[in-house]
Every structure is written in C-alpha cells, then in structure tokens.
Amino acid sequence: MKAKDRLIFPLDFPDLDQTLYWVERLNPFIGVFKVGLELYSKYGPRTVEDIRRISSAKIFLDLKLHDIPNTISGAVKALSNLGVDFLTIHVLSGRRALEEAVKASHGGLKILGVTILTSLDRADLLELGFNGELATQIDELAFKMALLASVTNCDGIVTSAKEVERIKGALPHLLTIVPGIRMEESPKDDQLRVATPYEAILKGADYLVVGRPIRESSQPEKICEAILNDIDRALEKRL
C-alpha cells in the first residue's frame, strides 16, 4: 500500500454538504474516508452514495455495532449491500456475534473488531466492572480481544498505538487500524492513548485514523502531506 492508502480521515461533520466539501478537498491525500455514527444516523445510506459519487477512496463505516448475534447478522447483511469497505463491531459483543458478522458480510466488506476505546483509561475500566488486573493492564485486555477477533476470522481490529505492537507481532495477519493519532504539537483532548503517525506505523499500524490535526488546521493539505511523509519514513525504517 502507498502511504495515502493507509490514511483514514473521519468525516465528523454535522451536515452532508460540509462532509462532501471535505471529501472533495482532501481526496488527493486520503485513502479511506470514515463515516461515523452521527453522520450515518442523520443521512443514512445517502452518505455513502454521495461520497462514492465524488471519490474513489475506500469507505469505512464506523458504527461500532454491539448487539445480540442475530441482530448483528441482519445489520451486517444490510450494510454489506452499500458497498462499503470496512465495518466495525465491538469485540465485547462476544464470540457468536463476531462469527455471525463475518459470516453475514459479503461484497468484500472487511469486519473490524473494536477493542478498547481510546477515550477510556484504567479508572473507566474499573468503573465498568473489569477486574483489577485487566483494568490496570489495558494492553493485556486489548490483546485478549484481538485474539478473539482473530479466532472468529475478523479481518482486523481497531486498537490504540499503545497496544498495536504486541498485537501485530503475535497476529500479523490482522489489519490494525489505529485512532488517536496526533501531531507532536497537538493539544490534549479526550483521546487518552495517543501517538504520532511515525510512532504508530513504526509499531505496526496498517492504517491511521487522523481527524482533528487535519480538520482544525488552517492548512489541512500541508498536515496531510506531513502525515504521509511520516508514514513513508516509518515504513522505510520498519523494513
């Protein structure tokens, strides 16, 4: 893959016109556009159709499905018909739900298991009821989830850069999609487990989800170019 193919831009915008403006503007730099829950809930399949009309980039439908196996199966069948390239399922849905998702997918749709959200820290996991050992060793919990995604034949996982090195080393066949990517100068925000593009690729990330550093820049194209350069540098060193 070229550096561009590895860069995912989340379309976290309140309306479709603004979304399509950014798709057209960033199309030369982005390999995958990510459609999240807010945008899809508001506009539905039309979102995917309109993006397809102006871009040949891949589409990542990031709905983070979390439900019983039968419901997951039905949802994946329906979403496969849209012709999107990636779809997320929470690994916490369990083995049967993941198996049903993989079985129901068609048309080249890749199923990605979501491990631990990058907005969660140890205190959050303790509050949610995870035992002390797993809550204090987030990398161990993420690794267990990656193993489950692997044995249920998911195509890949979404995980933070802090866990990706171990996961990619043990499960090299899994695609690794890493959010929480920030530039060196980025301010703090609600993403707690973050890394730079160079760090994440060097640790084994296959794809990077980069939103705020691009979206909030006065020169988003230049930020994209800097990210692509970082990806290339890291890939050269990784080889």
Q: Tell me, what DSSP letter sits at residue 155?
A: S
Partners of residue 89 on adjacent β-strands:
65, 113
Dist. CA 177–CA 210, nearest whole Å: 11
**Which amino acid appears at position 196 of this protein?**
T
- Active-site residues, by number, are 64
Q: Tell me, what DSSP letter sits at residue 109?
A: P
State the chain's maximal CA–CA distance in angstroms.
49
What contacts 24+ positions apart, CB below 8 Å, involve 72-76? 72/97, 72/100, 72/101, 72/104, 73/100, 73/101, 73/103, 73/104, 74/104, 76/100, 76/101, 76/104, 76/105, 76/109, 76/111
Q: Which residues contact 114 (CB under 8 A, 6 or more apart)?
A: 64, 88, 89, 90, 91, 157, 158
